[in-house]
Amino acid sequence: MPLFRAHVQVSLRPSVLDPAGEATRAAAIRLGVEGIRKLRIGKSVELELEAPDRATAQRELERLSDRLLANPVIEDWQLSLSEVEQQP
């Protein structure tokens, strides 16, 4: 069965406040890093999934992202998907 590698990037929606991002931005300024006007914290999820075809893998990963990896009320997500070439 084909193996697919996925990367799901989850981020807060632009309208949602990001206290962790603001705290990190403030810490960066205290470290002497100037010029940061915006800093938002998200999460990155990498996984591999066996599926009969790309369409099935895409569908399953979209369901996983919508229902488990991201909170659809406050977060958006982006999915990138590629097939892994398996060695014989």
The tally of domains found in the chain comes to 1
| Structural domain boundaries, residue 18 | 3-84
Residues with Cβ within 8 Å of residue 37, at least 6 apart in sequence: none
Q: Which residues pair with 12 in a beta bridge?
A: 75
CATH number of the domain to which 70 belongs: 3.30.1280.10
pLDDT digits (tens, 9 = 90+) for 10-67: 999 999 999 999 999 999 999 999 999 999 999 999 999 999 999 999 999 999 999 9
The predicted model scores a pTM of: 0.85
| Amino acid 85: pLDDT | 86
